Structure 1
C-alpha cells in the first residue's frame, strides 16, 4: 500500500511540476525586501520602493519563478508623501497578507509618517488610504488568528508585538518584546507563522549588507518566550561555503507554502560585479525549504544560494513581457517610476512625444523631473531622442542616488557627459551638435556604461565610458539600485523614440 501511495505521489508531482531548476534572482534589479502571499493558485509579491513614486510594486505569479508586475500599491500623493526622501529614506520593507477576501499591505514611510497599512480587494489596486499605526520601528508585519490581528515590528532594537484593530489601526494591547535575535545587529524584518502548534518568528540580522542573514525562533505562545533555533542562521552566504558565490547579502525573507504542500522562501540578495560591488540593488530570490512536522525549517538543504538553483518547481506559467517604450500610448506602464512625488504638470504626452518640464537638478533631490525604469539586466542599452527648448537641459540619467549618477544630456547646442559622485561633479566630455534632435544612448555590461550620441540616428560618437562599480551601493550609498531614465532641468525638453 505504501508503495502504491508513493507511486501516486510521484505521478502527481510529475504532472504538476518540472525539475529543470531555475535562476536567481527571480525578480532582477532593484526589488528588495520581498513579501509574498498565496490565494488559491495565485501568488502575489511586493517590494520596498524607498524614495520612488509610485510605491511598492505588486507582482503576480502562478509558479513562483515567472513574475509579472500588475501595478503598484501606493499610487496617490495622499498615500505616499515623499518630501525630502532619498534612497536612504521613504518606503521600507512591506508585508502583504490576505484574510477573508481582503489584501493587506503594511509598511513604514521613514521620514514621512511612520507605520501604516492599506487594503484592497484586488492586489492590482486601487488600494485604500493609509491607516496609521501607533507601534513604530521598521518592517512591520501582520499575523491573523481567530479573529485577532497582531502587528510586529522592531522598535528598540528588538522585535515587539501588539494586537491591533485592523480597521482603525488602534492598538488594543501593550507592545511586548518577543526576541532580540541571536546577537546580529539590526534585528528586523519579522514575520510570524504558525505550524505544528508552534509560532515561528523569522527575522533578519546583520544589516542588509555582506553579513545579512536569517534567523528563526519559536514558541508555543505567540507572546513567547521564544527559543532560538540551534542551527541559526538558517540562511546566509556570508559563510565558508558561500563566500565565493556571486550572490551575497542574503536575508529579509518570507516563507510561503505552495498549493502542493511544499515550502519556499523569497528573500533579498545582491549580485557582485567587478569585485565586491553591486549597482543593480538588492534583488528578489527564491529557495526551496524543507519543513518537517515539528522540526525547524531548512533552506536549500543548508547550502548557500547560487544563481542557478536545482530544485523541483511548480508547473511553469510564462508571463507576458513588459511592453516596449511607446510614447503613443500616453502611458509608460507600472514599471516606470519618479524620484519623490512627481509634479504632474511637468509630464505631458503630446502625440508621439513626452514633454518634460524641469524642476531643479537631480542632485538637489527636490521633486526633480525624472521618469525611469529599474535596470534589471546586466547587458543592454537604452536610447532616446532629445530636443531641449531654449536653455533647458535634458537627457538620459543612470541614477543611483542624488549623490551618485551619470548624465548624458543636451544643452545650449552641446551634448555632454557628466559624472556626479558625492563631492565629485565634472563634465567628462562635451561636443558641439548641429541637429535639432539628438539621439542619446547608453549601453552597459557587467563592468562599464558606454555613452554615445548621434545627430542623424545612424552614426554614433562616444563621449566616454564610466565604471558600474562607482554607482555600487558600497561607493555611492543608498538602499536602492540603478534606475535609467529621462530627465529635464531648467525648461521644457521633448523626448521621442
Structure 2
C-alpha cells in the first residue's frame, strides 16, 4: 500500500477533469469526473498512490447508458458523479442534466462493463450514495437533502430528509456523507463553482441529523487570495490503507494579468487531511504540495503525462478519446484503412451540433498537438475547442490549409496556404505568457505585421497554427487564447484538441500530443 511521497505536484489529474470523486478498495484507488456533453461519459481512473493516475475506461460507454440528445447544449449532459464500493460492487451515481434524471450503474470490475442505468426522478444535482448501519442506501443531493432509496429498484423509501446546507454560501452542492467512528460527517461545497468556491463540514450522531457545523467553516477556500490555484471545492474524502486521510477536489489555474483566464477547465487536486479534535483540517492547495510527516513514500514520483501518441493500430479507440454527444458506429472506423482512424462527416460545420469529432483533452498550458491527415476529397482538420461558438480550426480542403476562428457570432479566416494532394501534418501549439515584455504595447500587438491577433497584456496564452510543407513548417497564424477560455465562453468544460471531418471522409494516420515547457520553445 502506498500513499503520496513527501512532496507531489498538483493537479494530480490535469486538464478538463472536474468534480472528482474517489474510493479505495484494498491497495487501489478509483476516481471519476464529470464529462458533460462528451461521449463516452464519466472517465474512470486508477491509482496505487493517489498521485499517479491512469484512465482505465469510461463508466457510461454505450448509448443505452448515456442519452445525450443532438440538441444537448455545451456544458450540459453528465454532471458530478460519485463512486463508492459496497457489498462487493462499485456504484456510480450521477445526473444527466439534459434529461433531468439521476442514474445509478454498478460493476464488479471498475474497468467495466457497467450495468444499465437505474433512474431516479428527484430534484437538484450532485448525487452521492452512502449506506447506513442497517445496510440502507441513502442518496444525498445538492440543496442539501437525503433520500433513503432502493438503488436497484429505483424507488424512494423515505425523504426528503433536510440536512445541513452549509454556512449560507451560494449553491450548497457536492454533498457527501461519511461514517467515521461514532459520527456521520457531511461534506458540502458552497460559494459557487468559480472563485468563491469553498468546502465546509458538519457532523451528527444520526444520519438524519441534526448536524453540528465544524468550528472553522469553510475549512478550505482560496477566495479573495492571490494563490495560483483558485476555485477550490467540490471535494471528496478518502482514507489510505495506512490510516492517513486525503481529499480530492477541483480547482483552476488561471493565467494572464487582470482578469486572469483559465483554459484547461477545472482540474483534480489532492491535499492531505489531518484531524484535530474530531474535525478535518487541510492546508491551502499548492502546485507543489507537501504530504504529512510519516506518510509512506510513493512508489513513483508524480507523473507528467507529457507525451501521448496514438498510431491508431488497435482494435478500439483508447478510453481518453471523447466525441460530441454520441459516436455513431457509422461515423468512424479503425479497419476501413488499417493503421488509420477514418472519420465520416455527420454534420457540415463545427459551429453547430452534430459534427463528427474525436477529441483529446488539453492537459497542459504549454503544449503541441499534431496530426497527419489525408483529407481525400473531404473537409477535415484539427480544432482547439471550447464549444460550438468558441473554437479555432486548422482545416484542409480543396488543396488548401486555412486557419478559421469562431468566437461568439464572428467567424474569420486568418491565414491559408496551398498544399499538394495527399497526407499533410497539421500542428496546433499553445504558449502561455503571464506578462508581455514591457517594451511591447497592446497597440503594437494588434497592429504589428505578423503579431498575434488581438493579444492584450492580459492575454493568457497564444495559439499558433502550423502546417508542414515541402519548404518546411509554415506558421499560418497566431491567435489570442483568451477567446477559448471559460471567462469568455462560459460553461464548465475545458479545451480539447479535436480530429474532425465536416464533409466527406478523411483518414488520420497518427495523433501526437506533447507538453512543451516555455523554456523549450
2:465 aligned partner: 451
Give the CA deviation at 1:135.
2.2
CA offsets per residue over residues 159-185 of structure 1, 9 Å max, x none? Answer: 111100121121011212112221111
Contact 2:30 2:44 in 1 (8 A): yes
2:288 aligned partner: 308
1:398 paired with 2:384, answer yes
1:236 aligned partner: 221
Give the CA deviation at 1:452.
0.5
2:67 aligned partner: 81
Tell me, in whole angstroms, the C-alpha distance in 2 between the residues paired with 1:343 and 1:148. 39
1:336 to 313, 321, 342: 321
1:102 aligned partner: 89
Secondary structure of 1:470's match? helix
CA offsets per residue over residues 49-71 of structure 1, 9 Å max, x none? Answer: 00111110111111111111111
1:143 paired with 2:130, answer yes
Equivalent residue pairs, number: 471
Give the CA deviation at 1:283.
0.3
Give the CA deviation at 1:355.
1.5
Tell me, in whole angstroms, the C-alpha distance in 1 between the residues paired with 2:94 and 2:391. 28
Tell me, in whole angstroms, the C-alpha distance in 1 between the residues paired with 2:75 and 2:363. 20
2:155 aligned partner: 170
2:443 aligned partner: none
Tell me, in whole angstroms, the C-alpha distance in 1 between the residues paired with 2:282 and 2:214. 13
Normalised TM-score (structure 1): 0.91
Normalised TM-score (structure 2): 0.87
How is 1:288-327 mapped onto 2 (pairs within 5 angstroms)?
A: 288-292=272-276, 295-300=278-283, 304-312=284-292, 313-318=295-300, 324-327=309-312
Tell me, in whole angstroms, the C-alpha distance in 2 between the residues paired with 1:86 and 1:134. 21
Larger displacement relative to structure 2 (357-366 or 305-314): 357-366
1:193 paired with 2:178, answer yes
Tell me, in whole angstroms, the C-alpha distance in 2 between the residues paired with 1:344 and 1:373. 19
Tell me, in whole angstroms, the C-alpha distance in 2 between the residues paired with 1:16 and 1:372. 33
2:21 aligned partner: 35
Contact 1:443 1:449 in 2 (8 A): yes
Contact 1:288 1:299 in 2 (8 A): yes
1:118 to 84, 105, 116: 105
1:260 aligned partner: 242
1:370 to 354, 357, 364: 357
Give the CA deviation at 1:88.
2.1
Tell me, in whole angstroms, the C-alpha distance in 2 between the residues paired with 1:16 and 1:119. 27
Contact 2:176 2:188 in 1 (8 A): yes
Secondary structure of 1:366's match? coil
Give the CA deviation at 1:329.
2.1
1:64 paired with 2:50, answer yes
Secondary structure of 2:221's match? coil
Give the CA deviation at 1:33.
0.3
CA offsets per residue over residues 410-455 of structure 1, 9 Å max, x none? Answer: 1122111011111121111122223322211112222111101123
The structure-2 alpha-carbon separation of the partners of 1:224 and 1:245, relative to structure 1 and needing over 3 Å to count, comes to same
2:372 to 370, 381, 385: 385
The structure-2 alpha-carbon separation of the partners of 1:16 and 1:109, relative to structure 1 and needing over 3 Å to count, comes to closer
Give the CA deviation at 1:361.
4.2
Larger displacement relative to structure 2 (254-263 or 307-316): 307-316
1:282 to 242, 261, 266: 266
Give the CA deviation at 1:102.
0.4
2:405 aligned partner: 419
The structure-2 alpha-carbon separation of the partners of 1:376 and 1:314, relative to structure 1 and needing over 3 Å to count, comes to farther
Larger displacement relative to structure 2 (78-87 or 275-284): 78-87
Structure 2: tracts of 5 or more residues without a match: 433-460, 511-521
Tell me, in whole angstroms, the C-alpha distance in 2 between the residues paired with 1:17 and 1:171. 38
Structure 1 segments of 4 or more deviating over 3 A? 15-20, 312-315, 317-323, 361-365
Contact 1:393 1:489 in 2 (8 A): yes
Larger displacement relative to structure 2 (120-129 or 362-371): 362-371
Tell me, in whole angstroms, the C-alpha distance in 2 between the residues paired with 1:213 and 1:166. 30
1:442 aligned partner: 428
CA-based RMSD of the aligned residues comes to 1.8
Tell me, in whole angstroms, the C-alpha distance in 2 between the residues paired with 1:162 and 1:354. 46
1:468 aligned partner: 481
The structure-2 alpha-carbon separation of the partners of 1:187 and 1:385, relative to structure 1 and needing over 3 Å to count, comes to same
Give the CA deviation at 1:17.
6.3
Secondary structure of 1:180's match? coil
1:478 aligned partner: 491
Contact 1:362 1:402 in 2 (8 A): no
1:356 paired with 2:339, answer no
